[in-house]
Structure 1
Amino acid sequence: MAEAIFAKPGAAVAQAYSEAEREALHFHSPAELCAYAAKLEAEGDSCVLLAVYYPDMAGHFAPRRIALDPAQCDGLTYRYVCEGWGVIRVYLRLSSGKGPDSNVGANSQKRAEKWQRHYPEFGPADAWDWDAVGRHERRLIRVLKQVAAQEGLS
């Protein structure tokens, strides 16, 4: 799956949510992403949640700092999130993980237009090339299905 994510030029791949009070990690190669996933699994984590962006999708992709409630988060005050109307989310369940199966998804143009007034920080929905968002999303879904079939998970 890591190879497919980086198969198209200019892929920007980051943690969808950073650790508290840390910048979001960005990955620049399949090997770097796989090493990160292996580290998480060794630490007992069950999944990797990524934000994926390709230049032809247009729109805006950059981590954004969000406030945490220190009373609810053991005194921690912020983290970063990578989001945007057309950003593709890739959820990968690690081999020892329990919970939902791996999946790939992105907002549709219709959903983005419906919700854009509630999330002005995402910018205008029409700034995205929705055909490109859909092409990349479908390609990653196809690869994920192939991987699942090979591993007997489908």
Structure 2
Amino acid sequence: MAAAIFAKPGAAVAQAYSQMERETLYFRSPAELCAYAARLEAEGAGEVFLAVHYPDMAGHFAPRRIALDPAKCGGLTYRYVCEGWGVIRVYLRLSSGKGLASHVSANSQKRAEKWQPLYPDFGQTDAWDWAAVGRHERRLIRVLKQAVAHDAAAGGSA
């Protein structure tokens, strides 16, 4: 899956949510992303949650600092989130993970237009090339389905 994410030139790949009170991590290669996933799994994490953007999608892609309630977060006050109307979200359950299955998703143009008045910080929906968003999303979904089918045929659990 990491190779597919980086298969198109100019991929911007980042943590969807940073660690609390840490900068967002960006990944520049499949090897770097795989090493990160392996480290998370070794630390007991069950998933990797990414935000992916390709240049032809246009739109705005940058982490935004969000405030946390210190009373509910052990005194921690902020973290970063990568948001945007057309940002592709890639959720990969690690082999030790439980719960949600791996998946790829992005907003549709129609959904983004419906919600745009409530999230003006995301900018205008027409800044995105929705055909490109859909193309990349479908490509990543196909690769994920193939990987899941291959893993199941090999006796793994995806």
Normalising by the smaller structure, the TM-score range is over 0.9
> Which residues of structure 1 form unaligned runs of 5+?
none
TM-score by length of 1: 0.99
Code of the aligned partner of 1:128: W
Q: Which position in structure 2 is the counterpart of 1:69?
A: 69
Q: Percent same amino acid among aligned pairs?
A: 80
Name the SS for the 2:140 alignment partner.
Answer: helix
Code of the aligned partner of 1:45: A
Q: Which position in structure 2 is the counterpart of 1:53?
A: 53
Separation in 1 of the partners of 2:17 and 2:47?
12
The number of residue pairs the alignment matches comes to 154
Name the SS for the 1:81 alignment partner.
Answer: strand
TM-score by length of 2: 0.96
Code of the aligned partner of 1:126: D
Separation in 2 of the partners of 1:115 and 1:97?
32
> Which residues of structure 2 form unaligned runs of 5+?
none
Q: Which position in structure 2 is the counterpart of 1:93?
A: 93
For residue 43 of structure 1, report the CA deviation from its aligned partner: 0.3
Code of the aligned partner of 1:83: E
Name the SS for the 1:151 alignment partner.
Answer: helix
For residue 96 of structure 1, report the CA deviation from its aligned partner: 1.2
Separation in 1 of the partners of 2:23 and 2:121?
19
For residue 6 of structure 1, report the CA deviation from its aligned partner: 0.1
Q: Which position in structure 1 is the counterpart of 2:107?
A: 107
